[in-house]
């Protein structure tokens, strides 16, 4: 039931009483969500920096994209869900699209923009359900787990836990060095803090191991607070020169698939915990929520960052009592205030962010537990997808291997009835890409 005209502005905007919450509860929930996801302000500039992007402007783009997407979620959908550049998608942007496929970061931003525009369109016209249902459930789970494995090998490489080898491709690094030791300590600390329910455990772990690195001369202290860096080096820097190439559209399609599954899963999961699903288990205002997510990707690409997506860390705010968009507004305001802490973000060393990245990787591996391990025609494609991502160093290659294997295994097993038209179409596209290049 809508709030009465005599109610206060916040009550009218967010219908607090109907959701059984209050201004104080919503603000505290917003602080909780922000603290659990603020690590992205430190991690995202370093990951995109590996692609040659200037880290100061990326820090600004990260904060502003998170602010914009979260505000749209607040006012368009009235959900306590925060957004920011997505983990995994940023690694795909940097290490696959730029470093492996040879895109410039400006061309990669153009691919992010196109994936966001397509996401907006399919969200608006109701194609989302058809696309999600066309993808086999076990492959969806494998994509999430594979991205976790991909993040894991990147984290270990950044920390020096693994190094390249001409004989075995990868091998163990020097575990006696301070960066490796601190990265492992940081990972264990972050996992422990999250296990005992410490709010902001990930960001606390990052800051603690950063401080521990000071005596070893591993930290270049840049300060704590200053005016935000100049955002213009990445602002509207998109380059569409590759838009006619097949590789460009494979990248766009891969970004779209990962973003779509990640968003849908997060929205349903967080909303379920908040008791926001209807009697049929569906999310009211799903279209508005997807619009917030997809439009945030478009905005983020224009600012200079990879795909912006809904964060599962929003569940911590929900656990703290957040039920409406006022929680999201609080998160958005805190991201704006965080713009003043760019020197701190520049101070954080790679071994500290590697600790957080490795922890995020372990969380994403949970998707493996839900795979149907009794059916080889489901296990083989899922395993090929998940294993393929770290070993090809490419999320898109892993997705493609999973789909092609899925169709071939089902056909060879005499079970073509298990195949959807969508899954076959995706497999054909990736198969053609593998053969033609």
Q: C-alpha distances in angstroms, 420 versus 86, 255, 392, 396, 410?
A: 29, 21, 27, 20, 11
Token pair belonging to 179: 């960066």
428 Cβ contact partners less than 8 Å away, ≥ 6 residues apart: none
Per 3-state DSSP, the chain is made up of helix, strand and coil in percentages (nearest 5) of 70, 5, 30
Name the residue with tokens 């270049």. Answer: 220
Which comes out higher in pLDDT, residue 357 or 437?
Answer: 357
pLDDT at residue 1 in the model: 47
pLDDT of res. 281? 67
| H helix or E strand, kind and range, residue 289 | helix 286-303
- Tokens 């502005």 — which residue? 9
Total-model pTM: 0.84
Whether the CB-CB separation of 399 and 423 falls below 8 Å is answered with no
H or E element at residue 165 = strand 162-165
What gap in Å lies between CA 158 and CA 152, rounded to an integer? 10
| pLDDT of 437 | 61
Encode pLDDT of 151-173 as tens digits.
899 999 989 999 998 889 889 99
Supply 378's token pair.
């489901």
Q: What value, to the nearest 5°, has the Cα angle with vertex 92 and ends 435 and 410?
A: 45
Query: Residue 434 is encoded by which pair of tokens?
Result: 């593998």
Q: What is the mean pLDDT of the chain?
A: 90
| Cα–Cα distance, 298 to 303 (Å, whole number) | 9
Residues 6+ apart with CB under 8 A from 19: 323, 324
Mean pLDDT of 253-271: 80
Res 153: pLDDT:
92
User: What is the mean predicted confidence (pLDDT) over 65-86?
Assistant: 95
Question: Residue 297: its pLDDT value, please?
Answer: 96
SS3 label, residue 5:
coil
Tell me the mean pLDDT in the region 198-202: 89
| pLDDT given at position 4 | 52
Of 101, 43, 49, 48, nearest to 392 by C-alpha is 101
User: What is the Cα–Cα distance from 219 to 214, expressed in whole angstroms?
Assistant: 5
Q: Are strands 169-172 and 162-165 parallel, antiparallel or unpaired?
A: antiparallel
What are the start-end ranges of the E strands in 140-229? 162-165, 169-172
Element (H, E) at 436: helix 421-436
CA nearest to 62, candidates 76, 80, 45: 45
Tokens of 98: 């730029």
Beta strand residue intervals within 11-110, DSSP E: 83-85
Give the pLDDT confidence score for residue 139 in this predicted structure: 87
| pLDDT tens column, 112-133 | 999 999 999 988 887 766 776 6
Per-residue model confidence as pLDDT tens digits over 365-401: 887 888 889 999 999 999 999 999 899 888 888 888 9
How much is the pLDDT for 421?
87
- pLDDT level of residue 3 (50, 70, 90 thresholds): low
Could you give phi then psi for residue 169, rounded to 5 degrees? 70, -55
Which among 31, 158, 150 is positioned nearest to 82, based on CA atoms?
31
How far is it, in rounded angstroms, from Cα 127 to Cα 129? Answer: 6
Number of neighbours of residue 431 by Cβ within 10 angstroms: 15
List, in order, residues 6 or more apart from 51 with CB less than 8 Å away.
93, 94, 95, 97, 98, 99, 105, 108
DSSP state of 310: E
């Amino acid at each position: 039931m809508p709030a009465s005209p005599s109610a206060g502005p916040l009550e009218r905007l967010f219908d607090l009483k109907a959701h059984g919450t209050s201004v104080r509860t919503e603000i505290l929930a917003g602080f909780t969500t922000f603290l659990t996801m603020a690590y992205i302000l430190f991690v995202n500039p370093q990951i995109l920096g590996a692609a040659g992007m200037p880290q100061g402007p990326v820090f600004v783009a990260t904060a502003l994209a998170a602010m914009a997407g979260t505000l749209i979620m607040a006012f368009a959908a009235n959900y306590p869900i925060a957004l920011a550049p997505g983990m995994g998608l940023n690694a795909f942007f940097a290490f696959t699209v730029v470093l492996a496929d040879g895109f410039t970061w400006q061309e990669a931003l153009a691919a992010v923009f196109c994936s966001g525009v397509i996401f907006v369109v399919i969200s608006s016209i109701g194609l989302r359900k058809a696309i999600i249902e066309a993808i086999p459930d076990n492959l969806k789970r494998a994509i999430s787990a594979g991205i976790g494995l991909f993040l894991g090998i990147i984290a270990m490489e950044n920390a020096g836990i693994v190094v390249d080898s001409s004989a075995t491709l990868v091998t163990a690094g020097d575990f006696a060095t301070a960066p490796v030791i601190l990265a492992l300590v940081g990972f264990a600390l972050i996992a422990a803090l999250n296990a005992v329910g410490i709010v902001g455990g990930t960001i606390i772990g990052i800051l603690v191991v950063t401080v521990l690195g000071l005596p070893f001369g591993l930290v270049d202290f840049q300060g704590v607070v200053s005016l935000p860096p100049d955002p213009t080096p990445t602002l509207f820097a998109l380059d569409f020169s590759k838009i006619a190439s097949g590789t460009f559209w494979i990248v766009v399609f891969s970004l779209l698939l990962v973003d779509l599954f990640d968003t849908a899963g997060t929205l349903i999961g967080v909303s379920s915990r908040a008791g926001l699903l209807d009697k049929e288990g569906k999310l009211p205002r799903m279209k508005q929520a997807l619009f917030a997510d997809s439009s945030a990707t478009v905005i983020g690409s224009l600012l200079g960052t990879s795909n912006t997506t809904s964060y599962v860390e929003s569940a911590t705010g929900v656990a703290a009592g957040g039920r409406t968009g006022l929680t999201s507004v609080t998160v958005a305001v805190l991201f704006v205030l965080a713009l003043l802490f760019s020197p701190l973000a520049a101070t954080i060393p790679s071994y500290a962010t590697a600790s957080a990245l490795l922890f995020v990787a372990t969380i994403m591996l949970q998707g493996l537990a839900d795979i149907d391990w009794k059916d080889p025609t489901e296990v083989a494609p899922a395993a090929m997808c998940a294993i393929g991502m770290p070993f090809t160093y490419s999320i898109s290659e892993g997705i493609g291997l999973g789909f092609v294997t899925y169709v071939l295994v089902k056909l060879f097993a005499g079970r073509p009835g298990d195949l959807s038209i969508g899954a076959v179409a995706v497999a054909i596209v990736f198969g053609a890409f593998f053969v033609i290049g």
